[in-house]
Amino acid sequence: MSRSLPTKKEFIDGILSGNRMFLSRAITMIESTKKEHHELAQEIVEGCLPHAGSSIRIGITGVPGVGKSTFIEAFGNHIIQEEDRTLAVLAVDPSSSRTKGSILGDKTRMDTLSNNPKAYIRPTPTSGSLGGVAQSTRETITLCEAAGFDTILIETVGVGQSETAVHSMVDFFLLLMLAGAGDELQGIKRGIMEMADAIAINKADSGNENAAKRAMTEYKNALHLFPPTESGWIPKVTTCSAYHDKGINDVWDIIDEYIRHTKTSGYFNNKRKQQAVYWLEESINQELHRKFYENEDLQLMLQKFREQVQRGEVSTQKAASLLIDKFFNS
């Protein structure tokens, strides 16, 4: 069933009044591959930009099985009920690129939160490159902030390349872990632990409390071996049971302390500014990259050179020069 598209002004006014239908349709425009949708989306984002920026942006990661959906549900209900906040939940990993299921593909796993008028849950985009989805997610943050959400949670599965992208669009990065899962490593990709501003060891319940406490000590010791963070913040480790709604307040308190710490030091605003310039340069790089790799005249040549550099038959710089010359002359 085709619906006529609202105007740019209707979209912007709708979003600023907190209307979810307009918000959802605008996000769909952002994610659309149609040129006219994309152009309209850009104008909507531009119109919302002056009303955005005042939320707390939190990245959350952890492998499937760690209890992310249950945690987000408990965390969301806590900050809405106890902290008088509002929450938008977004995801970065395109579901097509996942081997394991996305929590956000299935809103029904966050029952109470998805029915709460102070929460907005956006299902995972079903396709697209990581670069494209990351860009869309940043624009979606702008729209959600303009719609009045003061807390944005961005979920990622912790096994892919997405964490760096999420890390560079959030104020705070939370890593969910398990204790006593028989494997301390739990499939978390190398480097992710070092990004975390806090680690929460979930499922500290049902006789697992002591194992969780031991894991907490181990992670504290491990984090102690890491170099200090740029913000001067020492990453915290805590335990919680999302299922039994225990320790969720501690996680929020850590985030709150971090925000106050970095706002006082000026790091919060500096980081936001750095992120903006980073994303400007990322957008430029992506666009240059796209134009190059989508150039049909280059495809065969590129494939030939890939094979030749692997066999050591041509230097990467010579191959690159020849490709670039062809690109700018075609």
- Which residues of this chain interact with a copy of itself, rule CB under 8 A? 42, 45-46, 49-50, 52-53, 135, 138-139, 142, 184-191, 193-194, 218-219, 221-222, 224-229, 273, 276-277, 279-280, 282-289, 291-292, 305-306, 309-310, 312-321, 323-324, 328
Least distance from C-beta 291 to a copy of itself, angstroms?
8
The per-residue DSSP string of 24-76 comes to HHHHHHHH---HHHHHHHHHHHHHHGGG---SEEEEEE--TTS-HHHHHHHHH
Least distance from C-beta 87 to a copy of itself, angstroms?
22
Whose Cβ is closer to a copy of itself: residue 20's or residue 272's? 272
Whose Cβ is closer to a copy of itself: residue 39's or residue 106's? 39
CA distances from 314 to 4, 227, 235, 304, 311 (A): 55, 40, 46, 10, 8
Whose Cβ is closer to a copy of itself: residue 78's or residue 326's? 326
User: How far is Cα 149 from Cα 88, in angstroms, rounded to an integer?
Assistant: 6
- CB-based contacts of 248, cutoff 8 Å, min separation 6: 71, 74, 75, 78, 240, 242
Least distance from C-beta 94 to a copy of itself, angstroms?
18
* Distance between first and last Cα of the chain: 42
Outline where 49-169 has alpha helix (H): 68-81, 111-114, 130-146, 162-167
Whose Cβ is closer to a copy of itself: residue 4's or residue 310's? 310
Least distance from C-beta 80 to a copy of itself, angstroms?
26
Burial class from Cβ neighbours inside 10 Å (0-12, 13-18, 19+) for residue 16 reads: middle
Least distance from C-beta 116 to a copy of itself, angstroms?
29
Q: What is the largest CA-CA distance in the chain?
A: 68
Whose Cβ is closer to a copy of itself: residue 184's or residue 250's? 184
Whose Cβ is closer to a copy of itself: residue 51's or residue 98's? 51
User: How far is Cα 318 from Cα 305, in angstroms, rounded to an integer?
Assistant: 10
Whose Cβ is closer to a copy of itself: residue 16's or residue 193's? 193
Least distance from C-beta 230 to a copy of itself, angstroms?
9
Whose Cβ is closer to a copy of itself: residue 47's or residue 247's? 47
Least distance from C-beta 75 to a copy of itself, angstroms?
25
The per-residue DSSP string of 197-260 comes to SEEEEE---TT-HHHHHHHHHHHHHHHHHSPPPTTSPPPEEEE-BTTTTBSHHHHHHHHHHHHH
User: How far is Cα 202 from Cα 145, in angstroms, rounded to an integer?
Assistant: 29
User: How far is Cα 66 from Cα 178, in angstroms, rounded to an integer?
Assistant: 6
Least distance from C-beta 106 to a copy of itself, angstroms?
26
